[in-house]
Structure 1
Amino acid sequence: MFLPYDLLALVAAACWAIGSILAVAPARHLGPFAFNRWRLLIVATALWLFCLVDGGWRTLSPGLMSAMALSGLIGIFIGDTALFAAMNRLGPRRTGVLFASHALFTPLLSFVWLGETMNSQAMFGALLTVAGVMAAVLLGRRAEENHEWEMDQGDVRVGIALGLIAALCQALGTLLAKPVMTPDVDPVAASAVRITAAGAMHFLLLFGGVRVAMAHHPLTFQVFRQTATNGLLAMGVGMTLVLLALKYGNVGMVAVLSSVSPVLVLPLLWWRLGRSPAPGAWFGAALTVLGTALILLR
């Protein structure tokens, strides 16, 4: 049956899938640093307002804030910036398969760091899920596909390296958050701390005159709307759900279940591009569904 954290991780994956589609245009318009800076500012403002009204800020402690700030610097400031830089070069589909490798990094690191283990059925399900995600994304492109999202934008090797850095940072950021996410901690407040720390670093780079932090093009209302929608859905809702899942769940299982977002992207790309994914994508999606079922029914 569904356990609460299982469902939360899957809903977070859906938020990230929709967010990745919404991110392509504004991330390429603004550049990865400016795009991340704007969405962090928007989401941090919204979360802190919610915490002030809800009273969730009272659950914060110096130890929790330190851990969450470090988690945000690694997982969001470094990880998300690398992710969108990779997406600008490789597009959402190929970036998705690289980022999905965080579902391999996280269980391995959680075993070494936290001593967490999986039973044999859950482990087999996790391997099937990750294999399915990667197969769906790698085999999801038709030979005749020529949409700009599938075209290389710069050095592919740099894009691959950035995608793997993003996955590793996602895993490390999750592991840093897990030990302090006790049942009495408000996940919205914890998420606000993570996002604020990452946003502060982005603004330090901007005010320090770092060239790479500058926007590629001026912010327009349409780009602001796309950035805000992406941030509130993918980061405001998605990341908060992941932190809530970590309060009750195994960090490796949360990582595996939330990694199915690239498979959920496939029907969105079908809708966006007007063409169904290649047959190999459906094979990968079937493996993902089977693996997820084994995890949920363990």
Structure 2
Amino acid sequence: MNYFGEIAALLTAVFWTVTSMAFESAGKKVGSLSVNLIRLVIAFGIYAVYTQISRGMWFPFDAGLERWLWLALSGLIGFVIGDLLLFQAFVVIGARVSMLIMALAPPFTAFISYFILGEVLSPMNWIGMAITLTGISLVILKRDNKAIEGEEKIRKRLTSAYPISGIFLALGGALGQATGLVLSKKGMGDYDAFAASQIRVLTGIVGFGLMVLFMGRFRRLLSAVKDLSAMKRITLGSVFGPFLGVSFSLLSIQHTKAGIAATIMAIVPVLIIPPAILIFKERVNKKEIIGAVITVIGVGLFFL
């Protein structure tokens, strides 16, 4: 049996683990907007070289208008809106927790696919979604004992262990990724996955370029380019993220069911725990580990 799609999805998860750690570090140094634009420009150059060698053309000239429209829309929603929210979440709550919340992308994908592709949720899908939300709740929520002013007793209340803004940013990233994946699948068909990714990257460059222009961030962008340490991290993330990660995710949905691919890609929260401990010296408690495992199990059930 051919497991090319499944292997591509597994490699995607590994690539996204590397890129999330690299971009978290770079984003804290130079800002998420600069990181987004620079990494896409670098990725576009890599695509141009690769497709020139593999297809004999440095630009996807052979893509029809309809494919361009769907893939461009996918790039706008996935790269510009979704990734900007996700990368800012990296800065606010860290890559590990952000990527755990990103495990909601498969359920979001199913909802969007229902309206765009006509896919219907099964009872097992609902069970998987409930388990996924339970796992995420274990990580982002904690019990906080807080004394109420004017009262002698201490009341327990449920509070967020991380900034609410960061959680919503990560949720926005998950929704953007889900929408981008569905639109990519609809627009790509049997077209070359790397060329399709290049179209999405080009759209992202235009989108972030306009944001830098209208937000007056050009000087900050130049400052980021001059930061050698940040550029090394951005370059590393560009290779493993918008080039390898995105392209292999499209290869995966071409060769296996989108649900299976999305499930395998969702193991990033588990893969990211060891480097988070070893590189960023983060302290991970048992509850967070259990939450990550439950989340992945829930996503797996969602697509059984």
TM-score tier by shorter-chain length is 0.7 to 0.9
Structure 1 residue 102, shift from structure 2 partner: 1.5
Q: Secondary structure at the match of 1:15?
A: helix
Residues 268 and 136 (structure 1), Cα distance of their counterparts in 2 relative to 1, 3 Å cut = farther
Q: 1:107 aligns with which of 110, 113, 130?
A: 110
2:247, 2:44 → 1: CA distance?
12
If the length of structure 1 is used for normalisation, what is the TM-score?
A: 0.81
Letter in 2 for 1:245: S
For the 8 Å contact 2:71–2:200, the answer to whether it is kept is: yes
Report the counterpart of residue 193 of structure 1 in structure 2. Answer: 199
Larger of the two Rg values belongs to structure: 2
- CA displacement 1:116-141 (0-9 Å, x = unmatched): 357776x489548835862675489x
- CA displacement 1:178-237 (0-9 Å, x = unmatched): 112223x1101000110011112222333x342356527543222111101001102210
Q: 2:182 aligns with which of 166, 175, 182?
A: 175
If the length of structure 2 is used for normalisation, what is the TM-score?
A: 0.80
2:2, 2:286 → 1: CA distance?
30
Is 1:130 equivalent to 2:135 in the alignment?
Answer: no
Structure 1 residue 40, shift from structure 2 partner: 0.4
Is 1:91 equivalent to 2:94 in the alignment?
Answer: yes
Residues 242 and 2 (structure 1), Cα distance of their counterparts in 2 relative to 1, 3 Å cut = same
1:81, 1:118 → 2: CA distance?
29
Report the counterpart of residue 145 of structure 1 in structure 2. Answer: none
Backbone CA RMSD of aligned residues = 3.0
Letter in 2 for 1:234: G
1:110, 1:58 → 2: CA distance?
28
Identity %: 24
Residues 157 and 292 (structure 1), Cα distance of their counterparts in 2 relative to 1, 3 Å cut = closer
Is 1:33 equivalent to 2:33 in the alignment?
Answer: yes
Letter in 1 for 2:109: T
Report the counterpart of residue 150 of structure 2 in structure 1. Answer: none
For the 8 Å contact 2:136–2:291, the answer to whether it is kept is: yes
Q: Secondary structure at the match of 1:116?
A: coil
Is 1:162 equivalent to 2:169 in the alignment?
Answer: yes
Residues 19 and 125 (structure 1), Cα distance of their counterparts in 2 relative to 1, 3 Å cut = farther
Stretches of structure 1 lacking an aligned partner (at least 5 in a row): 141-150
Stretches of structure 2 lacking an aligned partner (at least 5 in a row): 143-160
Residues 125 and 260 (structure 1), Cα distance of their counterparts in 2 relative to 1, 3 Å cut = farther
Residues 265 and 137 (structure 1), Cα distance of their counterparts in 2 relative to 1, 3 Å cut = farther
Report the counterpart of residue 224 of structure 1 in structure 2. Answer: 231
Report the counterpart of residue 5 of structure 1 in structure 2. Answer: 5
Structure 1 residue 26, shift from structure 2 partner: 1.0
Structure 1 residue 93, shift from structure 2 partner: 2.6
Structure 1 residue 72, shift from structure 2 partner: 0.5
Residues 212 and 263 (structure 1), Cα distance of their counterparts in 2 relative to 1, 3 Å cut = farther
Residues 93 and 137 (structure 1), Cα distance of their counterparts in 2 relative to 1, 3 Å cut = farther
Residues 253 and 133 (structure 1), Cα distance of their counterparts in 2 relative to 1, 3 Å cut = farther
For the 8 Å contact 1:82–1:166, the answer to whether it is kept is: yes
